[in-house]
């Protein structure tokens, strides 16, 4: 793989709020990947499923070229396509009706949007807190006002070099959420590991 391809963003993530912001940052800093987090005020304001289309119908999301320029994604001008890229969207499902929830999970919500083929909807039913409790990562529910600081503690930003230990921290998170049917978060973790040459999610050294 040519070194210059590593400078391109392979993955961007639209996050629901501050909890998801902390989780995604924990994963990509541990794996040292060029992941872009897209949020409202670093997750302090939430993005909900009901408001996703309005959010995606603004600049730079309406044009693949504009999006590529904004987030440093490789763009094939001739084919008018993004190269080696996925846009993950991590949402709670408790703030919309069942019909909209189903359209989000299946991806039908994004029909006709330029980014449709790159979008992978990640769901947490009914919300991330429910999933974290079921996985044993959290032991009790916490107040909304405390979520930012709490999630920053259980998902700290890594400032150390990439190592077996930093990768195994993410592997441990993956093990805890594996098999939990209320989320497909594993798809995001698996994609991140695919960007690491020679590494596999389920194989430790």
Note every long-range contact of 21-26, with CB atoms under 8 Å and residues 24 or more positions apart, other chains counting: 22/148, 22/151, 22/152, 22/155, 23/90, 23/128, 23/151, 23/155, 24/90, 24/188, 25/155, 25/157, 26/155, 26/156, 26/157, 26/158, 26/173
pLDDT tens readout for residues 119-155: 999 999 999 999 999 999 999 888 877 877 888 899 9
pLDDT at 205 over 50: no
pLDDT at 190: 96
pLDDT at 146: 82
pLDDT at 6 over 80: no
As a whole number, the mean pLDDT across the chain is 92
pLDDT at 69 over 80: yes
pLDDT category, 3, cuts 50, 70, 90? very low
pLDDT at 1: 36
Q: What is the full DSSP assignment across the chain? A: --GGGGGS--EEEEESSHHHHHHHHHHHHHHT--EEEE-BGGGTB---GGGHHHHHTSTTTT-HHHHHHHHT--EETTTTEE-S-EEEEEEESTTS-HHHHHHHHHTGGGTT-TTGGGEEEEEESS-HHHHHHHHTS-SS---GGGHHHHHHHHSPPP-SPP-HHHHHHHHHHHHHHTT-TTB-THHHHHHHHHTSTT--TT---
- Report how far residue 40's alpha carbon sits from residue 58's, in angstroms, rounded to the nearest whole number: 13
């Amino acid at each position: 793989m040519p070194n210059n391809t590593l400078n391109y963003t392979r993955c961007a993530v639209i996050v629901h709020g501050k909890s998801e912001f902390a989780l995604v940052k924990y994963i990509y800093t541990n794996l040292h990947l060029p992941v872009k987090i897209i949020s409202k005020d670093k997750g302090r304001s939430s993005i909900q499923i009901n408001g996703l289309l309005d959010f995606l119908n603004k600049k730079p999301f309406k044009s693949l070229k504009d999006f590529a320029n904004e987030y440093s994604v490789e763009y094939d001008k001739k084919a008018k396509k993004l190269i080696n890229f996925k846009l993950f969207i991590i949402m709670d499902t408790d703030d919309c009706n069942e019909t909209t929830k189903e359209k989000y999970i299946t991806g039908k919500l994004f029909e006709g949007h330029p980014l449709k083929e790159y979008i992978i909807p990640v769901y947490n039913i009914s919300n991330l807190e429910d999933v974290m409790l079921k996985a044993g990562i959290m032991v009790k529910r916490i107040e909304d006002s405390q979520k930012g600081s709490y999630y920053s503690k259980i998902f700290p930003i890594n400032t150390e070099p990439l190592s077996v230990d930093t990768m195994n921290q993410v592997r441990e998170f993956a093990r805890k959420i594996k098999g939990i049917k209320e989320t497909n978060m594993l798809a995001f973790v698996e994609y991140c590991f695919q960007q690491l040459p020679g590494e596999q999610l389920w194989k430790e050294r």
